[in-house]
Structure 1
Amino acid sequence: MSFSNSPGGEALDLLSRIAQKVQEETKVRLHRRNVERVLSAVMVSGDFWKIVDLSDLPVPAASGIVKELISEGLLFIDDKEDILLTQKGYDLIGELGIEPFVDYSCQACEGRGYPFYADKELYRTFVELAKDRPKAIRDYDQGSVTPETTVSRVLFIDSRGDLRGKDIIVMGAEDDLTGLAVALTRKANRVLVIDIDDRLIEFDNRIFKELGIDNAEAVVWDLRKPYGEDMLGQFDVFITDPPETFAAFRAFIGRGIATLRDEGCAGYFGLTLRDSSIFRWKEFQETLIGEYGTVITDIVQDFNHYMNWEYHPETKAAQIAPVRKNPTDIWYRSAWYRIETLPGFKRWNDPISDDVFYLDEEGSTT
């Protein structure tokens, strides 16, 4: 096919057809600009996992687009498993004026706006303690963020007035040791860490005891189960990092909101574009605003940087990728959300019966 005989219409139609075909195959909702973002990413990196990172797409969608672009003769994979443009691909991006991906984010703070080194003592203490953390396991969809991310989370929370003198619950996210980091500041009034993984609970409680942190405790709990009445409306702040199915969203976020005391309380959590599409974000946001009665005050894109997990080769993401090469650099990132309760907000605390808790058509990294 020659793209030079039209002012872009035929080429745009091709990208739209690719988006539609991949959407039908993966059930991930897409549009033409998603394909353009993949092409922009390929212009700066041949590494598939970096392409996923730069294109901000769920892995099934990014993989499907790359495979379809290869089928159309626009991309190819070389013997090093790098994904590259063909001459036909260069002709296409030239006709459409697609430019390489650019990144102007601050390198010192890793794009967060909150440099982890602002509290050197907290950072050094946390890094030393985190060296002995239990390894992330697949059973609970675990994947630890970098120590720099965890410390930056705490600084962000403190900057929003949600740390000092507050009762804080950290739910189902202790593979990042965020609860431990909050407790290490000794600025909160109370810290409760709950997680399904007893290894993490034992780890935190041991450190709390060794360091004499008597206002923090860790307890085993499965968030698919409703809280007892003694947990509802008892905290000023919740922090969590949910899997991104709707069942998990309600279990982690809905139950987090249920623990908050009154209006003006805050919740913090991460949402990715690696396991969710922007269409799902819209539905999550509508739930937060329309059903739960909260407002989104902050979304910091790519705030959370995840270290590669050892079980990656066993995941659906690895199996559907167009290459067999494992990621070697950070590629899985999530946005950091802050929500605040409004007058009349709703506490959600129903049981979860959905068996699809960790994986669905958009999620693939478990």
Structure 2
Amino acid sequence: MSFSFDSAILEKVALRTKLSEGKEGVRLVLREIYQRGPIGTKSLARIVRIPIPIIAALRKELEAVDLISRNKHGAILTDDGVKFVEQILGFSFLEDLTCTSCSGTGIIFPLEHQRLLVKQTAFANRRPQPLTRLDQAFATPETALRRAYFLLKNDDLEGRSILLLGDDDLTSLAISLLPIRSHVTVVDIDQRLLDLISSIAKEESFDINCVPADLREPLPEQLQNKFDVVLTDPPYTIPGLELFISRALQALKPEENLHIYLAFAHRPPNQLHSIHSSLLAHGLALQQLIPNFNQYEGAEMHANTTFLAQLATTNETTILIPSSFKKDIYTGGISPTRTEYRCENGHIIPVGSREKVKTIEELKLIGCPLCGSKESFTRISRKKVN
């Protein structure tokens, strides 16, 4: 081993990988590999709620110091790794305490679930390609149904007026599949999604009203102070969070103990503190927060999973952004990156908000600038830019 065989190795690995969770994050990764190994990178990232690229970097560092190795099934502790976690870290408990029926979400699907999942999957298969410039990453059909059941469990569906601020996940359709009475409104900036939801709603006789709107402007007057419940999955930035929460509060009736359901990316403690501070500044009470509730087909940077929080209005609730909002809310503007893709002919194309090609969707549309290929692009690197 390149490090001494003591707990200082955790701090050194954390520093080498620039892990925001510090040595405790490294310890948690080792604990999960100890309990579940061999385990794949994606599964490990989801469980510990650390982005996949960071888990990959951690894995390489832990391999370099001979604490873990890999087989065809994933990461596993070496003999020295087992000795380290048992003798130095004190690990011995191997049983997984996560509920096998609900996977820790608190939702056990009813008997009708499989039939509804088939329909929701068919709906989801009709979605257009996600727009990365809008931070779109589609939740799985099962996630959309899980959200619907969660709202139902919390008495926020039956007889309620529900607003979805953005619905690239098609949760409005999942709600409408349930054998209950509710009225659903969807607001989105993406007309493609509104057209799809409206089309399916017409086919299925669902009660869904679709309204195009850019939430950087105040909510349309006809939607203000009208709703019992709001569900939103905003851009995973603090400005995006604060804007969408303000619009949610504009939409809710001016009453206490009404609920906002917020899907948001898992963050290290310092960043999570900023999220909580923002929610408190809005005068909202955090009633529930369920990790790993939402699963995504994209969102690799967020380990393909986010939490779901239930927020309640109080007598101190306030709208922090009542008017137009001119700042960036999307990740590409706030934390710009430069991603390099390789086309099928080996050419390297930089993509990012400061590059000639802004998004992967644009690259696929126009093709490789050097050879015109549109068939296959492989991501080879991704870096933040100043």
Normalised TM-score (structure 1): 0.78
Task: Identify which of 187, 200, 203 aligns with 1:194.
Answer: 187
| Alignment pair present for 1:148 and 2:138 | no
After TM superposition, the structure 1 stretch with the greater mean CA deviation from structure 2, 120-129 or 148-157, is 120-129
| Alignment pair present for 1:30 and 2:2 | no
Q: Give the corresponding residue for 1:177.
A: 170
Q: Give the corresponding residue for 1:354.
A: 327
Cα distance, 1:244 vs structure 2: 1.6
Q: Give the corresponding residue for 1:278.
A: 269
Cα distance, 1:189 vs structure 2: 4.6
Q: Distance in 1 between matches of 2:122 and 2:162?
A: 23
After TM superposition, the structure 1 stretch with the greater mean CA deviation from structure 2, 349-358 or 32-41, is 349-358
Q: Secondary structure at the match of 1:299?
A: strand
Q: Give the corresponding residue for 2:249.
A: 257
Q: Which amino acid aligns with 2:49?
A: D
Q: Any idea what the Cα deviations from partners look like across 1:62-102, whole Å, max 9, x if unmatched?
A: 34433433443434556x69444444433422322235775
Q: Give me the identity figure in percent.
A: 27
Higher relative contact order (CA 8 A, sep 6+): 1
Q: Secondary structure at the match of 1:254?
A: helix
The change in CA–CA distance for 1:51 and 1:107 in structure 2 (over 3 A counts) is same
Contact persistence 1:59–1:364 (CA under 8 A)? no
Cα distance, 1:164 vs structure 2: 1.7
Q: Give the corresponding residue for 1:343.
A: 315
Contact persistence 1:3–1:92 (CA under 8 A)? no
Q: What is the aligned residue count?
A: 333
1:233-272 alignment runs, 5 A limit: 233-261=225-253, 262-272=255-265
Q: Give the corresponding residue for 1:161.
A: 155
Q: Distance in 2 between matches of 1:67 and 1:240?
A: 36
The change in CA–CA distance for 1:91 and 1:122 in structure 2 (over 3 A counts) is closer
Q: Give the corresponding residue for 2:364.
A: none
Q: Secondary structure at the match of 1:301?
A: strand
Q: Secondary structure at the match of 2:168?
A: helix
Task: Identify which of 14, 39, 42 aligns with 2:30.
Answer: 39
Q: Any idea what the Cα deviations from partners look like across 1:284-327, whole Å, max 9, x if unmatched?
A: 122212x1111111122222222x34xx8xx7x49xxxxxxxxx
Contact persistence 2:263–2:294 (CA under 8 A)? yes
Q: Secondary structure at the match of 1:116?
A: coil
Q: Which amino acid aligns with 1:205?
A: S
Cα distance, 1:153 vs structure 2: 1.2
Q: Any idea what the Cα deviations from partners look like across 1:129-168, whole Å, max 9, x if unmatched?
A: 3343334343332222232221121121112111122221
Q: Give unpaired runs (5+ residues) of structure 1.
A: 5-9, 319-330
Q: Secondary structure at the match of 1:202?
A: helix
Task: Identify which of 19, 26, 29 aligns with 2:14.
Answer: 19
Q: Distance in 2 between matches of 1:135 and 1:146?
A: 14
Q: Secondary structure at the match of 1:235?
A: coil
Q: Which amino acid aligns with 1:343?
A: N
Contact persistence 1:60–1:364 (CA under 8 A)? no
Q: Give unpaired runs (5+ residues) of structure 2.
A: 340-358, 360-386
Task: Identify which of 218, 221, 235 aligns with 2:213.
Answer: 221
Q: Give the corresponding residue for 1:323.
A: none
Contact persistence 1:294–1:339 (CA under 8 A)? yes
The change in CA–CA distance for 1:279 and 1:239 in structure 2 (over 3 A counts) is same
Q: Give the corresponding residue for 2:97.
A: 104
1:284-363 alignment runs, 5 A limit: 284-289=275-280, 291-306=281-296, 308-309=297-298, 317=301, 332-349=304-321, 350-355=323-328, 357-358=330-331
RMSD (CA atoms)? 3.3
The change in CA–CA distance for 1:203 and 1:210 in structure 2 (over 3 A counts) is same
